Structure 1
């Protein structure tokens, strides 16, 4: 997926946003549909994959594994995940003169968190019984995974490199694994979180595509000039 600039007569980039809009809307719709399915399949009718995965995670628990999962829990949520990470990232982007990137990071983080809370209270899914970490109300979708997916997309947009997208995907998968490892979420909760977080980030990408692309091109030009 790319938003390629096209020079127009007034020298402003025209950015293709259709793919981002379609992908973002599709991801949010898929998250909503999945939420409906897991609500219907509550109680004794839970998804077999959720039950099997939860049993596997309990069987794999070790002191080191729990330490890693608790670390991901702290990084992906609470004060660190909700405030320190987005604000810190925005400050860095402002320092390197990418204010639109900073705005995108902050707005996407806040919008993703808001969307997750709406879905949590709408579906009100119970968390697994083997949870070993304190969490808020509602199991679907995973806020930690939504936050990870949002960051992955936002950073991928700001620094459009293949390795950045790969690292973002790995980070999101590790976050999903850690949430189920701690018993804080069902496997389908993490999928819903990834869809919600990515969907919000993609739609905001489309909304801010022109200034983001203009800023990226200018920033790249300054970097090349510094090397000459």
Structure 2
């Protein structure tokens, strides 16, 4: 994907998340019919196994695991592979993604579903867990554009998103917003990296980013 496409797709995704947030937190019911309907559907399909699955992803996708362990592991792996620019890029993307999520949570201050099965922090829109998963997924695809990486990244993001509504800690629109923010921030920052690198006559340290996935 070229620099202009990275920027435009990323900006479009972020703007779409903001518009979605405005739509679902404007005047009227706190939960539009599609959110309320999906939340009711999740309540109907819950089983002990699915709840256990949701609890596991709740721990993996948040807290110290998502805040410290995963980012440090990603950065350390890139440094060990001697891709220090990619390591800096990944660190910046993850920080900006978290900051964007927290900013939108504060701005929209959306209430969570009343039947939550796990404890969570303030602000339902967008989903922080889903945004983290989408950010990691987008980073993986940008740094290693392979078909199997795309499949694994999509599966991870969708699994995390599903788990957040399964335990009723987020509305359906929250997880959509989280995916848009995570992917959007990653694409915008990749576009800026390409712009900066080429302005200095350098190739960015994104392994084989321009090759066709195989």
- With normalisation by structure 1, the TM-score equals 0.85
| Count of paired positions | 203
Unmatched runs of 5 consecutive residues or more in structure 1: 3-15, 221-228
**Partner of residue 216, structure 1:** 207
Check if 1:35 corresponds to 2:21: yes
**Residues 45-83 of structure 1: per-residue CA shift (max 9 Å, x gap):** 631111111011111111111111111111111110111
**Partner of residue 90, structure 2:** 105
**Residues 134-175 of structure 1: per-residue CA shift (max 9 Å, x gap):** 100000000000111111111111111122112111111111
- With normalisation by structure 2, the TM-score equals 0.90
Contact 1:100 1:212 in 2 (8 A): no
Unmatched runs of 5 consecutive residues or more in structure 2: none
Task: Say which structure, 1 or 2, has more relative contact order (CA 8 Å, 6+ apart).
Answer: 2
Helix, strand or coil at the partner of 2:114: coil
Query: How many angstroms apart in 1 are the aligned matches of 2:203 and 2:151?
Result: 21
Check if 1:175 corresponds to 2:166: no
Once the two structures are superposed, the pairs formed by residues 143-222 of structure 1 within 5 Å of their partners are 143-209=128-194, 210=197, 213-214=204-205, 216=207
Query: How many angstroms apart in 2 are the aligned matches of 1:82 and 1:132?
Result: 21
Q: CA RMSD in A?
A: 1.6
**Partner of residue 127, structure 1:** 112
Query: How many angstroms apart in 1 are the aligned matches of 2:78 and 2:165?
Result: 32
Check if 1:24 corresponds to 2:10: yes
Query: How many angstroms apart in 2 are the aligned matches of 1:90 and 1:42?
Result: 44
**Partner of residue 225, structure 1:** none
Tell which structure's C-alpha radius of gyration is larger: 1
**Partner of residue 49, structure 1:** 34
**Residues 175-227 of structure 1: per-residue CA shift (max 9 Å, x gap):** 1100000110000000001101111111111122346744525xx9xxxxxxx
